[in-house]
């Protein structure tokens, strides 16, 4: 099953280098889908939905109807609905406190700073595939709502789970469309007769969705370019092997391309976790997916000490990082690359996935080196604010005049001179 490596004796670099998005064949296909959807709009959407998802769509049924939404509540148990609402409220409460505010600085006759404005319309993508993801609705739409976005729309190729629609209702999603894949991303970026053009597209998806977002960045804002899900766990000998194995299995069940890593200074713990993985996976419905993930994408890495563990974790730059060891909080200072950090035995990754509050839409595939967790700033934009009175402008006019002329922009220099001719002579 899972392999055990010793660091630095074994070369572990290739373990984390998967080049998930380096697929020219898929890039070309996605480019063609985007171009076709841009040019033919709904007609292309309907054809691709039939071809890729086996779904027959038209202008009458592409959008979830009010009746379909009304039928949702009766299909979800009161207990499940209540749990979802608690989770939604946690996400909203966390992000409303996080929301950036206007930041202006006053100095005599000068006012400079930043204005924060929410984007007008957000497009949320909720993946389909082998599972339904109502939690992803909460973790994207509630963040947009907290940011103050006026209109939220949603696209998903899989609305079979009534909780997905219930979550969308709870989050105030105004329009929901039964379309997925690269064509859904293109439709939200350019707009079609049925799907309105958005200012930002956020949410996870497969390689087609991710490459479409990447190619359309600039036409529309995107949250991040993400790949398969992953977890890394830093643990010492005293950690609970059963807990660790359960968390690794929880990540591996997402997809055969998902990855789970244990980084430990204890050979004893490494062996215990491997035994637990073998034992626990036998009882799981998605065992085939998990086993492939563990065999081909995951690893147990034995290091000499916790400093080395942090170094390896920073190299992985994991989507989720659990730290389960003595002095766990002290190690956080040495972690620079991670989407989310979970401290202690009772802060499992599943807590963040469903309930704690921070969005579970996180950078993956090592992109935590430069991307950040989905947050209210993702759904906002910052505008610079500059105000000088005449006296303060005159003080700096000569410097601006010199700099403009140095770059060869005489009209810029002229706009200064016309206001302060004596100061630039």
Residue for token digits 């076709």?
36
Closest Cα partner for 269 from 237, 291, 300, 243?
A: 237
Residue 6: burial class (beta carbons within 10 Å; 0-12, 13-18, 19+)? middle
Rounded distance between C-alpha atoms, residue 103 and residue 80, angstroms: 41
- Contact of 127 with 158, CB cutoff 8 Å: yes
Rounded distance between C-alpha atoms, residue 365 and residue 332, angstroms: 20
The active-site residue, picked from 230, 319, 322, 349, is: 319
Rounded distance between C-alpha atoms, residue 359 and residue 180, angstroms: 22
Q: What is the DSSP letter of 94?
A: H
Rounded distance between C-alpha atoms, residue 381 and residue 192, angstroms: 25
Residue for token digits 């439709």?
187
Rounded distance between C-alpha atoms, residue 5 and residue 7, angstroms: 6
Q: What is the DSSP letter of 61?
A: T
Closest Cα partner for 245 from 319, 148, 349?
A: 349
Q: Alpha helix locations (H) across 191-344?
A: 207-216, 241-252, 267-281, 287-296, 306-316, 328-331
- Residue 122 has phi, psi (to 5 degrees) of -110, 140
Per the annotation, the verdict on 283 as an active-site residue is no
- At residue 351's C-alpha, the angle toward residues 348 and 355, to 5°, is 175
Closest Cα partner for 350 from 249, 205, 225, 236?
A: 249
The active-site residue, picked from 320, 322, 349, 360, is: 320
SS3 category, 204: coil
Other CB atoms within a 10 A radius of the CB of residue 420 amount to 18
Per the annotation, the verdict on 319 as an active-site residue is yes
For 358, half-sphere exposure in the C-beta direction (CA atoms, 13 angstrom radius) is 13
Active site residues: 319-320
């Amino acid at each position: 099953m899972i392999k055990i490596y010793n660091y630095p004796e074994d070369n572990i670099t290739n373990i984390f280098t998967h080049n998930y998005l380096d697929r020219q064949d898929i890039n070309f296909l996605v480019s063609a889908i985007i171009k076709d959807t841009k040019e033919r709009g709904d007609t292309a959407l309907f054809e691709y939905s039939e071809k890729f998802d086996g779904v027959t769509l038209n202008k009458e049924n592409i959008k979830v109807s009010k009746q379909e939404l009304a039928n949702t509540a009766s299909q979800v148990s009161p207990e499940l609905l209540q749990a979802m609402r608690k989770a939604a409220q946690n996400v909203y409460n966390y992000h409303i406190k996080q929301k950036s505010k206007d930041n202006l600085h006053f100095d005599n006759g000068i006012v400079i700073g930043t204005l924060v404005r929410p984007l007008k319309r957000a497009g949320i993508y909720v993946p389909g595939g082998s599972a339904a993801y109502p939690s992803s609705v909460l973790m994207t739409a509630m963040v947009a709502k907290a940011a103050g976005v006026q209109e939220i729309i949603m696209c998903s190729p899989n609305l079979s789970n009534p909780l997905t629609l219930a979550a969308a209702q709870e989050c105030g999603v105004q329009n929901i469309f039964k379309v997925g894949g690269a064509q859904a991303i293109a439709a939200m970026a350019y707009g079609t007769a049925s799907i309105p053009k958005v200012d930002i597209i956020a949410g996870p998806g497969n390689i087609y969705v991710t490459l479409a977002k990447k190619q359309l960045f600039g036409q529309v804002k995107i949250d991040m370019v993400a790949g398969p899900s992953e977890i890394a766990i830093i643990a010492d000998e005293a950690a609970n092997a059963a807990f660790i194995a359960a968390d690794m299995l929880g990540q591996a069940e997402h997809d055969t391309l998902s990855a789970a890593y244990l980084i430990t200074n204890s050979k004893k713990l490494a062996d215990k976790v491997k035994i637990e993985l073998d034992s626990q996976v036998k009882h799981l419905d998605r065992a085939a997916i998990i086993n492939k993930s563990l065999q081909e994408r995951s690893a147990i890495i034995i290091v000499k000490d916790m400093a080395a563990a942090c170094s390896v974790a920073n190299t992985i730059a994991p989507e989720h990082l659990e730290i389960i060891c003595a002095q766990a909080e002290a190690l956080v200072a040495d972690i620079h690359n991670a989407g989310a950090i979970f401290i202690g035995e009772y802060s499992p990754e599943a807590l963040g996935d469903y309930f704690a509050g921070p969005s579970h839409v996180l950078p993956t595939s090592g992109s935590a080196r430069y991307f950040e967790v989905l947050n209210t700033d993702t759904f906002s934009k910052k505008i610079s604010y500059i105000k000088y009175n005449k006296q303060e402008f005159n003080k700096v006019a000569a410097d601006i005049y010199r700099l403009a002329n140095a770059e060869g922009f005489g009209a810029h220099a002229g706009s200064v001179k016309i206001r302060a001719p004596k100061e630039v002579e």
